[in-house]
Amino acid sequence: MKRNQFIKTLGISTLALSTKANFQKPYEFQGLKIGLASYTLRKYSLDQVIEIMKRLAIKDVCLKNFHLPFDASADELKSISEKMKSNGLNLYAAGVIYMKTNEEVEKYFKYAQNAGVKMIVGAPEHHVLQKVEEMVKATDIKIAIHNHGPEDKIFPSPASIYEKIKNMDARIGLCIDTGHTFRLNEDPAAEFRKYRDRLFDLHLKDLDSRNAKAENVEIGRGAMNIPLYIQVLKELKYEGILSVEYERDAENAAYGLTESVGYLRGILRMS
């Protein structure tokens, strides 16, 4: 089935729950909201991302540069932001954005400003953190620093982020990636508790095993204790987004995303 045909038929899935009423009143369970990290749909166009989100009754999205291009003009970025809003969607963040120089920090904060984004999900290098803090203060744009697991020499774990930012501006926080944290043989639920005061965002994944080479699978099919993570986030009254990031089979990722969202909604309803 071609992708555009699949998009048209997504609505038949019992997981999609795509009625107009459901979309206008998005699923929220004790304050927890399911969102999307658009890296999941990196092989899909922005229009397809919008259509899939509407079909799945997802309102909140963190757009990757595949869908919010770095080289877009200020007017083009504003247009994309307005397009999301006109479709009832909330562009809550942009990223993950890598920052290696002070010039890049300035560039990407300006990019976020032009897009009307209130938070960057970022991966700055250590030596630019002071510039990051300067730009946070100048723009009032938050940054949630993302950990990337055992291969990452800069910020592999939530702890490695927190130690660098704990004394910095309170608008600098964490985006905990549950999959990369799990690959470090750490418990994401425990990390949520430890860093709750700076937990701005999270990328929710499932993996087939608990080791550095683990593979991404549909949420609910893997080895991660998703129900526990949800329960802890409820206890902590987490106010951010449960941003689903399904990285497998990029050409057909809408299938895995649909299953993952359906599973999460079931867990949220039962917990």
Q: What is the mean pLDDT of residues 119-139?
A: 98
pLDDT band at 28 (very low <50, low <70, confident <90, very high): low
Q: What is the pLDDT of residue 20?
A: 41
Return the HEC string of 178-238. Answer: HHHHHHCCCCHHHHHHHCHHHEEEEEECEECCCCCCCCEECCCCCCCCHHHHHHHHHHCCC
Select from 215, 216, 190, 192 the least CA-distant residue to 205: 216
Q: What is the pLDDT of residue 1?
A: 43
* Residue 192, pLDDT above cutoff 80: yes
| Predicted confidence (pLDDT) per residue in 212-258, tens digit | 999 999 999 999 999 999 999 999 999 999 999 999 999 999 999 99
**Other residues' Cβ atoms within 10 Å of the Cβ of residue 57:** 21
C-alpha–C-alpha distance, residues 61 and 41, integer Å: 11
76, amino acid identity: E
Q: What is the pLDDT of residue 72?
A: 98
H-helix or E-strand spanning residue 174: strand 172-177
Q: What is the mean pLDDT of residues 38-60?
A: 97
Q: What is the pLDDT of residue 2?
A: 42
C-alpha–C-alpha distance, residues 117 and 140, integer Å: 10
| Domains of the chain, each with CATH number or no CATH | 3-10+27-270 (3.20.20.150)
Among all chains, which residue has been given the structure tokens 């999941």? Answer: 40
Which spans in 61-208 are helix H?
A: 74-86, 102-115, 129-139, 158-165, 178-183, 188-194
Contact 177, 147 (CB under 8 A): yes
Contact 50, 67 (CB under 8 A): no
Q: What is the pLDDT of residue 31?
A: 83
Share of the chain above pLDDT 70, in %: 89
What are 32's strand-pairing partners? 29
* Residue 142, pLDDT above cutoff 90: yes
